[in-house]
Chains A and B, each alone.
Chain A
């Protein structure tokens, strides 16, 4: 077989290629391929397919979960926003109520204080009037007492005589 004998010194033979070996290897490869194809490829491919399916499933599940997570996060964010808004509203209302309560309490207290002040003023005025009246009464009494004593001191027998005479003269003229 001249075509198959390409040994050693020229062309492909220099590269160490042997047609008989190649053929044997080819047949062996073929046989191996057939055996593998019959008994190995199927299960391997099956396993690979299954693994791939699992992986795909996992990936799609992951994607789904990711999607759901995003949705959930959005919902949670939404609820948080709503809750914050509600809480702010409640706090504002509570603050407003508290302010109103304080304002009302202050108003009541102010009214009460004003009333107390007015009552006290009225009482003071009344007491002042009474004290004044008493003072005036005492003063009048004192004045008349002093006048009486001064007159008593001044009126002796002679001056009384002149006084009586004058009184009677004046009345006689009337």
Chain B
């Protein structure tokens, strides 16, 4: 096991037990800086999410153009439960980006569901271009 996966394990265990805290986040950041592992942050967080998922916890990053209301969050959770039945708890992290125009984009540890209008527009553009060829 590498240092990265070890760290990921530690973070996932700790957060599952104690949850998030600003202090803990700062500690992790300081450690990464000191050990020169800042560039591995994305990989570490992916591993953390995987371990969370294995433990039945799933963090979903939902990117929307406007803030999500509670009923929509619940609808998202229901949908995620449908595609990931083994999940015990779903945590939705919100991300706002007007560039997607409308709809939403769901980022899971091993999946990416782009249901935004931006994605549809890009597909439409691609379809026209490939249709010409």
Contacts and interface: CB of A to CB of B under 8 A. Distances in A.
Given A151-B121, A155-B101, A155-B117, A161 B66 contact: yes
Contacts, number: 61
Interface in B100-133: 101-104, 115, 117, 121, 124-125, 128-129, 132
B2 interface: no
Q: What band does the interface of chain B fall in when counting residues whose beta carbon is under 8 Å from A?
A: 20 to 34
Contacts of B124: 144, 147
A161 B121 contact: no
Contacts of A151: 101-102, 117, 121
Contact of B102 (A143, A144, A160): A160
A143 B128 contact: yes
Interface of A is mostly: helix
A157 B101 contact: no
Contact of B66 (A143, A160, A165, A168): A160
B125 A140 contact: yes
B75 interface: yes
B121 A148 contact: yes
Interface residues of A, number: 24
Given A161-B66, A171-B115, A147 B121 contact: yes
A23 interface: no
B102 A155 contact: yes
Interface in A129-167: 133, 136-137, 140-141, 143-144, 147-148, 151-152, 155, 157, 159-161, 163-165, 167
A159 B132 contact: no
Interface in B5-58: none
B26 to A, nearest CB: 34
B61 interface: no
A163 B104 CA distance: 9
Nearest to A159: B102
B85 to A, nearest CB: 13
A141 B125 CA distance: 7
7 contacts: A140-B125, A155-B102, A159-B102, A161-B66, A161-B69, A168-B76, A168-B79
Given A140-B128, A147-B121, A169-B75, 14 more contacts: A144-B124, A148-B101, A151-B102, A155-B65, A155-B101, A155-B117, A159-B102, A160-B66, A163-B103, A164-B64, A164-B72, A164-B104, A167-B104, A167-B115
